[in-house]
Amino acid sequence: MCNLIGHAIQQALTRRGFLAGSAAGAGLLGPMMCTAVAGDGRLDTRIQLAQSSADASNSWAKLILLGTAGGPTWWPNSDQCGISSAVAVGDAYYIVDCGEGVGKRLQQAISPTSSRVMDDKVRALFLTHLHSDHTVDYANLLLFGLFVGLDRRSTPFKVFGPGRRGQMAPVFSLPGSPTPTVPIINPDNPTPGTRDMTGYLYQAFATDLNDRIRDNGKPSLEAVVEAHDIELPPIAGFKSPNETPSPPMEPFKFFEDDRVRVSATLVEHAPVWPAFAYRFDTDDGSIVFSGDTGRSENLIKLAKGADILVHEVIVTNWVKGLFPTPRSLAQEGLMQHLLNAHTQVEEVGAIAEAAGVKKLVLSHIVPGNATREQLLPAGKGFSGELVIGRDLMQIGVAQATARKG
């Protein structure tokens, strides 16, 4: 078997401009929680694992894909977890987004033999925007975190994300049709930001948290977690979230420590606002996360010359197949959002090429059970290396060199 796999790996390395992989080599032949992209064989998955492991083994800074499926759903015929990634710089880790399964994936990736996954080595969390598929396991990370390291931290766990929208999004309606009347949830604060959301979680789980403090001797989460709303700088031409959700702007730095410098920009994911892309600069190189977005010139500017661009992708034909005509108002609204507030698979390669990045990594893949054949068009117009993201894949930044051809 080993000889067969070795021969297959050698063959796979010659494939033009394509790499897909997952966790470290230790689990290469063992049982896997995540399977191949639908339609891939097990042998192909193991080849991809080996390539990925070799890629990250000698890099001080690396990208870890914790979960690669996008969308607020449980995808059939797929074991890929919800969207979440981490940037590792030495023994320091920075999480990006909190999709379903983030805690377990984080443990598998960085602390498989220890339950203290949320101690000081995990320094911060960055939320790109507040859609549920990016935040659904935020409560999980904090509540379970009290038992897996948050309770023993010497410094607070920092959380950064969007602030309040400050303006209700418009109700979708077709031209010439009356605007439907819809309810407003939490009318006193209908567009809460990251700090608000964190505070509301404390309220929602007060029974549990008060019990843990009194019966288990745990600290208050408010004492070990620092939640921050990212403050936007003045932006020329910005009017309102509804009128100008992502006007042209310069990237701005909002976080820095001894390992990373993190910058942000607004991207195209209306009606959600603010929606951010992030750039992590390290001594080894740079990793950019698109967040959820349609084509964004702000993102291209943020990603200029980056080693790795982690970009969302949606399969166009899959979307169109969901909504045959005639469509209801709700169906039309959802279809337009999927096609316009996300990046279609045929378009993402040109975005990576315009940014001049060395490696394009697909994540937040919709549908979460997409086949490799459905995703390969992402390489159209891109001269670098295309990576179809898989849960637990690790990619070294220093190893991210352009592949031509």
What DSSP assignment string belongs to 76-143? TT--PPBSEEEEEETTEEEEE---TTHHHHHHHHH-TT-S-TTSTTEEEEE-S---HHHHTTHHHHHH
Give the least confident one: 28-42, 218-232, 319-333.
Answer: 28-42
* Nearest Cα residue to 134 out of 92, 179, 85, 64: 85
Quick: pLDDT tens for 331-376.
988 998 999 999 999 999 999 999 999 999 999 999 999 999 999 9
Residue 225, pLDDT > 60, answer yes
Tokens 């959301």 correspond to what residue? 197
388: enclosing H helix or E strand: strand 385-388
Q: Which CATH class is domain 42-167+194-232+257-396?
A: alpha beta
| Tokens linked to 328 | 């209801």
What residue type is assigned to position 323 of the chain?
F
What share of the chain has pLDDT > 90, as a percent?
77
CA neighbours closer than 13 Å in the CB half-sphere of residue 167: 14
| Tokens linked to 148 | 């897996």
Q: What is the pTM of this model?
A: 0.87
What residue type is assigned to position 333 of the chain?
G
Quick: pLDDT tens for 152-196.
999 999 999 999 999 999 998 878 788 888 999 999 999 999 999
The answer to whether 268 and 296 have CB atoms below 8 angstroms apart is yes
- Within 8 A by CB and 6+ apart from 327, the residues are 335
